[in-house]
Amino acid sequence: MKKSSLLENILYNELKPSIAVLFETDTTKEIRIVFKKAQFMKEHKTPFPITVEIFEGAIDFGVNGTLYNLVKGDLVSLEASIPHDLVAKKDSIVRLTLSKLDTVERVIKVTES
């Protein structure tokens, strides 16, 4: 069993979203992304399917040019190679589930402008 918390050791970065690996399983990586209001992740694609949970806050989630307003409790899945972006409408905590084959470094690069 592995245990972590989305609420412990939260660090808001003033310049860009803060990314932390919560834990890895045999098949996934569980990531926490902490956004201050107006921070964003530019449009990007993933090499594998992902799952995104809005744990706290509100995120404008763009998918192929369509904007979805996601709020606390919303959960979405996205297939690989679909262009998407995120903009925090207020301070937010997002849980991202990646394939074990994906890299956290790729996610970090998306936050760099």
Residue 80 CB: number of other CB atoms within 10 A? 12
pLDDT tens digits, one per residue of 84-97: 999 999 999 999 99
Alpha-helical runs (H) found in 1-113: 104-111
First vs last Cα of the chain: how many Å apart?
37
pLDDT digits (tens, 9 = 90+) for 38-77: 999 999 999 999 999 999 999 999 999 899 999 999 999 9
In the numeric block, the tokens 């412990």 are attached to 8
88, 35 Cβ separation under 8 angstroms? yes
pLDDT tier, 113 (very low <50, low <70, confident <90, very high otherwise) = low
Q: How far apart are CA 39 and CA 63, in angstroms?
A: 17
What pTM was computed for the model?
Answer: 0.95
